[in-house]
C-alpha cells in the first residue's frame, strides 16, 4: 500500500480561496444547515424519515436498520416496494404524466422527448416482453447498450419485474462481457445492433455473439434494439428483435412488490485482483439515498429544473444519477448518446443552451479536456441557465474547479465535488449548495446521515492538518450488500483492513477546518478519466499475449485523464516479437489490451524492458516504475533484490508512444 500522505499536500494546504453561497441561493435552497445536527442526533431515524418522505412503499416498514449481521446491513427490511413504480408510475398517478422525463439527444442529431406517461408505457411494454422471454423475479438480465432511451426502459423494466440488472458498459470487450454474464448467470442479454460514436455507427452485437460463443449456458435469449441498422449475424431461436417483441407488447404491466432488501442490480467494478467484483445493491435503502442525495446535493426543483448528468449508464453514476435518483424525484433530464466533440467541440454547450439545462453533473477529466480546447468554445453558447455544477469520479484539481466555476458557471453557480464509489451506491461526501462555503479541490464534508473519517495505520482518527485513509464509520442505506457470489471477498476487501470500519481504498486528509480532501487510491487501482481500472487486470491481459513474458502496470499522472496506464513488459525471447520492429510491438500490445478489456484500458505507453524491479520476496515495486513513468528521479531502491535493475530500465527505455 502506498503512503497516502506523501507528496502533493503542500499545494492543497495552501489553497485558501473560499466561495460562500449567495444570499439568493440560500433563500431558495432545499438543504439547510440544521440537517447535520438532526442526522447526527439519530442517524437511523433520520434515514427512516427520508425513506418515508421520498419513497412510496407498498408495505410500510417498521424496522429501520438491522446491523446484527454486519458487515451486511439490512435497511427497512420489513417494507416492500417497487423501484420502477417509484421512478415512473407514481408520478403519472399524481397527475404529472405530461412532464418530460427524458430529453434524448442522439449523437447524429435525432431527438426524442419522453414524458413520464410515455415512460410508463415503454417500461411496461419492455417488462411484458422480458417476461415473455422467460424473465421472472430474481432472474438476472445483462444489459449491453449505448446510452439510448431503451437502456433506461430496460433497466426500469427489470426493476419492475424484480429481476436484477447487470449493465455492462458498451465500451467493454466481448471478454469482459463474457465474464460478467457468467458470473451473474444472466438469463437474457439486451443489446443493440450498435450505437453512434464519433459520427459513425459502432457495432455492439458482434461482441455479444463472441461472448456467447465462448459458452454461457444461462443465456436463453438476446434481445436486440435496432439503432444503427447495421448488418448483424443472427442465431435463430436465441436472438429476438426489440421491434418484434417489445413494440407489440401490452403497455399495461403491474409492478412486482419486492422486499426492501431484494437485489436491484449488480454492477461490476475493478478491484486489486484480476477478477472484477460484482457489487450488488438492494432496493429500499439504495432508492432512499439516491433520491435524498439527488434532491439535496443538486438542489433539484423537479417542476423547473432541467438536469443533465453526462455519465453513461454503464457506470454507477449512470445508475444513481441518470436512472434512479432523478426519476424517483420526478426530474426532467437530458440524456446524450455521443461524445463531447461530435460533430464539434461545442456540442455539450449547445445541448445546455438548447434545453436550458440548469444542473450539470460531470467529471474532472471532461472539464480538463474542455479547458484544453479553449474557453472561446463554451463562450459561443448561452450557459446562463446553469445554476448548480457537480463533479465526480476523481479529485478535481483547483485549476479545473476554478475554470468550471468561472467559464461554465458564470462565476455564480455553486460547485459540488461529490465523493462516492460504486460500492457506496450514492454520494457520501460533498458540499451542500446553499449551506457549505466551498473550497476548490475539496469534497469537504460527509452528507447529513453519513459518517466518514480519516484514520492512520492503526485506525486512529487523525487530527486536522494530517493525512491517512478514508473510512466510513457507520452503515448507510445505499451501501453495497456484498460481492455477488463471494461474500468472503466482500469482507476481505472492505472490512479487514480496519476493524468495524469500511475501508474505501482512498487516501485522504483533513485540513485545518476538518474538511476532507481526497488524494487518490492507495491500492493497485488506477483512475483513468474517472474510470476505475485494475493494474492486475491489465497485467493479466498483457501476459495473455504470446509475446509477453512478464508485465507490470502503473498509473502515471496525466494532465487530462488524471492517470494514464503505463505498462512495462519483458518480451519472450523465442516469440515473434524479436523479428518485429519496436514500435509495432508496442502498438500490437496496446491494441491487445484494448481488445481484451476495452479501449479505456489501452495503455498510453508500453515500455519494453529487460528486467522489472522486484523486492527479495518477488513483489514488483510499482512505486519505482511510477517514478520512471512520470519522468522523476527514481526513488529509494534499496529494497530491490538487484539494485542495478532501475539503471537498466532507465537506459533501455524505448521511445514513448501514444495516440
Among 122, 417, 539, 558, binds ligand WT7 (CB under 6 A): 417
Q: Judged by CB under 6 A, does residue 535 bind ligand WT7?
A: no
Q: Rule CB under 6 A: is residue 497 a binding residue for ligand WT7?
A: no
**Applying CB under 6 A, does 422 fall inside the site for ligand WT7?**
yes
Query: Using the rule CB under 6 A, which residue among 64, 124, 269, 283 binds ligand WT7?
Result: 269
Candidates 352, 472, 504, 606: give the one binding ligand WT7 (CB under 6 A). Answer: 504
Q: Is 654 annotated as a binding residue?
A: no
Stated length of the chain: 659
Q: Cell 496525466 sits at which residue? A: 558
Q: What's the closest the beta carbon of residue 521 comes to ligand WT7, in angstroms?
A: 5
User: What string of DSSP letters covers 430-475?
Assistant: ---TTTPPB-TT--BSBPTT--EEEE-TTSPBPPTT-EEEEEE-S-
Q: How far is the CB of 220 from ligand WT7 (least distance, A)?
A: 31
Residue from 596, 600, 644, 601 nearest 624 by CA: 644
Taking Cα atoms as reference points, which of 563, 569, 651, 578 lies closest to residue 606?
A: 569
Q: Does 511 bind ligand WT7 (CB under 6 A)?
A: no
Nearest-5° Cα angle at 313, 541 to 110:
115
Contact between 147 and 336 under an 8 Å Cβ cutoff? The reply is yes
Say whether residue 325 binds ligand WT7 (CB under 6 A).
Answer: no
H/E stretch holding 554 reads strand 548-558
Binding window for ligand WT7 (CB under 6 A); candidates: 188-196, 203-211, 417-425, 457-465 = 417-425
Helices (H), 74-115: 83-84, 90-91
- Using the minimum distance from each CB to ligand WT7, give the nearer residue, 416 or 593: 416
Name the pairing type of β-strands 74-75 and 306-309: unpaired
Residue 527 in contact with ligand WT7, rule: CB under 6 A: yes
As given in the structure block, the three cell numbers for residue 555 are 498509473
Select from 521, 604, 622, 626 the one that contacts ligand WT7 (CB under 6 A): 521
The pair phi, psi for residue 528, each rounded to 5°, is -110, 120
Q: For 290, phi and psi rounded to 5 degrees? A: -60, -50
Out of 183, 506, 537, 558, the residue judged to bind ligand WT7 by CB under 6 A: 506
Q: Is residue 124 close enough to count as binding ligand WT7 by CB under 6 A?
A: no
3-class SS at 323?
helix
| 545 assigned ligand-binding residue | yes
Closest CA to 419 of 438, 447, 400, 439: 447
Concatenating the DSSP letter of every residue in 1-14 gives ---TTSSSHHHHHT
Element (H, E) at 166: strand 165-167
294 binds ligand WT7 (CB under 6 A): no
Lay out the site mask for ligand WT7 across 139-178 (x = CB under 6 A, - = otherwise).
----------------------------------------
Q: How many residues in the shown chain lie near ligand WT7 by CB under 6 A?
A: 22
Only one of the segments 195-203, 474-482, 524-532, 643-651 lies at the binding site for ligand WT7 (rule: CB under 6 A); that segment is 524-532
Annotated binding site: 197-200, 317, 393-395, 417-422, 506, 521, 529, 532, 543, 545, 548
Binding-site annotation, residues for ATP: 393-395, 417-422, 506, 521, 532
Q: Give contact residues for ligand WT7 (rule: CB under 6 A).
A: 269, 316-317, 392-395, 417-422, 443, 504-506, 518, 521, 527, 530, 532
Amino acid at each position: 500500500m502506498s503512503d497516502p500522505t506523501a507528496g502533493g499536500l503542500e499545494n492543497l494546504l495552501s489553497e485558501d480561496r473560499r466561495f460562500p453561497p449567495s444570499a439568493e441561493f440560500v433563500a431558495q435552497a432545499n438543504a439547510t444547515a440544521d440537517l447535520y445536527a438532526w442526522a447526527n442526533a439519530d442517524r437511523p431515524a433520520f434515514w427512516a424519515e427520508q425513506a418515508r418522505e421520498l419513497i412510496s412503499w407498498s408495505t410500510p416498514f417498521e424496522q429501520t436498520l438491522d446491523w446484527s449481521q454486519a458487515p451486511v446491513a439490512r435497511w427497512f427490511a420489513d417494507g416492500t416496494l417497487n423501484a420502477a413504480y417509484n421512478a415512473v408510475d407514481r408520478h403519472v398517478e399524481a397527475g404529472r404524466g405530461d412532464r418530460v422525463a427524458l430529453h434524448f439527444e442522439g449523437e447524429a442529431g435525432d431527438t426524442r422527448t419522453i414524458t413520464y406517461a410515455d415512460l410508463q408505457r415503454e417500461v411496461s411494454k419492455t417488462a411484458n416482453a422480458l417476461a415473455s422471454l422467460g424473465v421472472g423475479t430474481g432472474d438476472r438480465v445483462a444489459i449491453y447498450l449505448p446510452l439510448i432511451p431503451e437502456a433506461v426502459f430496460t433497466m426500469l423494466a427489470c426493476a419492475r419485474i424484480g429481476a436484477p440488472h447487470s449493465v455492462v458498459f458498451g465500451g467493454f470487450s466481448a471478454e469482459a462481457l463474457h465474464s460478467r454474464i457468467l458470473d451473474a448467470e444472466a438469463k437474457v442479454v439486451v443489446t443493440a445492433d450498435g450505437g453512434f460514436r464519433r459520427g459513425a455507427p459502432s457495432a455492439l452485437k458482434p461482441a455479444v455473439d463472441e461472448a456467447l460463443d465462448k459458452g454461457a449456458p444461462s443465456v436463453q435469449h438476446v434481445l436486440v434494439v435496432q439503432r444503427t441498422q447495421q448488418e448483424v449475424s443472427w442465431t435463430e431461436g436465441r436472438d429476438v428483435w426489440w421491434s418484434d417483441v417489445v413494440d407489440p407488447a401490452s403497455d399495461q404491466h403491474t409492478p412486482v412488490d419486492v422486499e426492501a432488501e431484494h437485489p436491484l442490480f449488480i454492477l461490476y467494478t475493478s478491484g486489486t485482483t484480476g477478477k472484477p467484483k460484482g457489487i450488488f445493491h438492494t432496493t429500499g435503502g439504495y432508492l432512499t439515498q439516491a433520491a435524498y442525495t439527488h434532491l439535496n446535493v443538486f438542489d433539484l426543483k423537479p417542476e423547473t429544473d432541467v438536469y443533465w448528468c453526462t455519465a453513461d449508464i454503464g457506470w454507477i453514476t449512470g445508475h444513481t444519477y441518470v436512472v434512479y435518483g432523478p426519476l424517483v424525484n420526478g426530474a426532467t433530464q437530458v440524456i446524450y448518446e455521443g461524445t463531447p466533440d461530435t460533430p464539434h467541440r461545442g456540442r455539450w454547450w449547445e445541448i445546455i443552451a438548447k434545453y436550458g439545462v440548469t444542473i450539470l453533473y460531470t467529471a474532472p477529466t471532461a472539464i480538463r479536456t474542455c479547458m484544453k480546447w479553449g474557453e472561446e468554445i463554451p463562450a459561443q453558447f448561452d450557459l446562463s441557465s446553469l445554476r448548480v455544477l457537480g463533479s465526480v469520479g476523481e479529485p478535481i484539481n483547483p485549476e479545473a474547479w476554478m475554470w468550471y466555476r468561472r467559464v461554465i458557471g458564470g462565476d455564480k453557480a455553486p460547485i459540488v465535488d461529490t465523493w462516492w464509489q460504486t460500492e457506496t451506491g450514492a454520494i457520501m461526501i460533498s458540499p451542500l449548495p446553499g449551506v457549505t462555503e466551498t473550497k476548490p479541490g475539496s469534497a469537504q464534508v460527509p452528507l447529513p446521515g453519513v459518517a466518514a473519517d480519516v484514520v492512520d495505520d492503526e485506525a486512529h482518527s487523525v487530527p486536522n492538518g494530517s493525512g491517512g485513509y478514508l473510512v466510513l464509520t457507520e452503515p448507510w442505506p445505499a451501501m453495497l450488500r456484498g460481492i455477488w457470489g463471494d461474500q468472503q471477498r466482500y469482507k476481505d476487501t472492505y472490512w479487514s483492513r480496519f476493524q468495524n470500519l469500511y475501508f474505501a481504498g482512498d487516501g485522504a486528509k483533513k485540513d485545518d477546518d476538518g474538511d476532507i480532501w481526497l488524494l487518490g487510491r492507495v491500492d493497485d487501482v488506477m483512475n483513468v478519466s474517472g474510470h476505475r481500472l485494475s493494474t492486475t487486470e491489465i497485467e493479466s491481459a498483457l501476459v495473455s499475449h504470446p509475446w509477453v513474458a512478464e508485465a507490470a502496470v502503473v498509473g502515471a499522472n496525466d494532465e487530462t485523464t488524471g492517470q494514464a496506464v503505463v505498462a512495462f513488459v519483458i518480451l519472450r525471447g523465442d516469440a515473434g516479437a524479436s523479428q518485429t520492429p519496436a514500435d509495432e510491438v508496442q502498438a500490437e500490445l496496446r491494441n491487445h489490451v484494448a481488445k481484451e478489456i476495452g479501449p479505456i484500458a489501452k495503455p498510453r505507453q508500453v515500455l519494453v524492458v529487460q528486467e522489472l524491479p522486484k523486492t527479495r520476496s518477488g513483489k514488483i515495486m510499482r512505486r519505482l516504475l511510477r517514478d520512471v513513468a512520470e519522468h522523476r528521479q527514481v526513488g529509494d531502491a534499496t529494497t530491490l533484490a538487484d539494485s542495478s535493475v532501475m539503471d537498466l530500465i532507465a537506459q533501455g527505455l524505448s521511445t514513448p508512444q501514444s495516440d
